Amino acid sequence: MSSAEQFPGIAPPTIGVFDSGFGGLTVLRALLRRLPQAQFAFLGDTARLPYGSKSRRTIARYAVESVQFLIREQGAQFVVIACNTASALALDAIQAASPVPVLGVIEPGASAAQAASRTGDVLVIATDATVKSHAYAAACQARGLRALEKACPLLVPLVEEGWTDHPVTAEVIRIYLAELIADATAHGLHADTLVLGCTHYPLLRPLIERAVPTGMKVIDSADAAADAAVHLLAAHAPSISQPVRPDQPPLRFFATDSVDKFERLGSRFLDRSVGKVELVDLGG
């Protein structure tokens, strides 16, 4: 679909995409495929990563500050929270503080699981905070699914280290999934679908697919969120009034720390050069 069809009568919008680190680039990659004409500003709050081991209050404060940067300083007219942890624990707080539409990744992920599962039993792997919030279990239950969630706290640091095809990572995944599947069996679940409930995990998809039982479907919340973003944007298109800024490059990247590492690993994860990443200070 061309941008004229996607956004009739208006310039393509600036979309803010936010994650605690590199993982959200999987969502940006999916958005770029669907909305090639839009402008994007991506922020990775790398100084304060991981979010997945922090409290709701802290995650909400970090996420609200990050989204406000994208809206106030980068002119985002629409924001995608490309982080399951922030979506699970802080979507309400972010939406309350935001004058523009904000989309999280949990509901799209649960809808994709519903579409994929035949047995109605699904497994979810995510960060500790996402699992403790039971946001996926609730979203799945609302769709008539039974969900068993498991925290996999070692996976985000392995991705941030760039160990996406490393034997240590493969072994960690094998152990986590074996524990989860044994637990599912003990609970009498006949799970046929695994939701990657953290936007870092799609970067481990080849290793995860090798470790799941034959026939189990692997759902990437990044793709599901990008599809939902296209629908929501179309619905909001008439209210988007701010003109596109031709002085700005269509893709802008910001990080709160480790800019060099972001440039190096980000290009790899996004399958294209991220160019210059700007350092921003959002406070402590």
Say which of 47, 147, 184, 198 is annotated catalytic: 198
Least separation in angstroms between residue 112's CB and ligand DGL is 15
Given the complex with ligand DGL, which of 63 and 148 has the nearer CB atom? 63
Q: List contacts with ligand DGL (CB under 6 A).
A: 19-21, 23, 49-52, 83-85, 127, 130, 156, 198-200
Q: Which is nearer to ligand DGL, 200 or 252 (CB)?
A: 200
Q: Taking the complex as a whole, how short is the minimal distance between the CB of residue 182 and ligand DGL, in angstroms?
A: 24
Smallest distance, ligand DGL to C-beta of residue 155, A: 9
Burial call 256-275: b when 16+ CB within 10 Å, e when fewer: bbbbebbbebbeebbeeebe
- Nearest approach, Cβ of 239 to ligand DGL (angstroms)? 28
Residue 198 appears among annotated catalytic residues: yes
For ligand DGL, the nearest residue by Cβ is 52
Nearer to ligand DGL, 68 or 130 (CB): 130
Q: Of 47, 71, 79, 83, which residue is the catalytic one?
A: 83
Cα–Cα distance measured from residue 268 to residue 44, given in angstroms and rounded to the nearest whole number = 15
Q: DSSP letters along the chain, please?
A: --HHHHSTTSPPPEEEEEESSSTTHHHHHHHHHH-TTSEEEEEE-TTT---TTS-HHHHHHHHHHHHHIIIIIT--SEEEE--HHHHHHHHHHHHHH-SS-EE-SHHHHHHHHHHH-SSSEEEEEE-HHHHHHTHHHHHHHTTT-EEEEEE-TTHHHHHHTT-TT-HHHHHHHHHHHHHHHHHHHHTT----EEEE-STTGGGGHHHHHHHSPTT-EEEEHHHHHHHHHHHHHHHHGGG--SPP-TTS-SEEEEESS-HHHHHHHHHHHHTS---PEEE-----
CA-CA distance, 165 to 208, in Å (whole number)? 11
Nearer to ligand DGL, 7 or 62 (CB): 62
Least distance in angstroms from the C-beta of 47 to ligand DGL: 11
> Closer to ligand DGL at the Cβ: 77 or 221?
221
CB 254 to ligand DGL: min, Å: 16
140 is catalytic: no
- Separation CA 71–CA 239 (nearest Å): 16
- Catalytic machinery residues: 83, 198
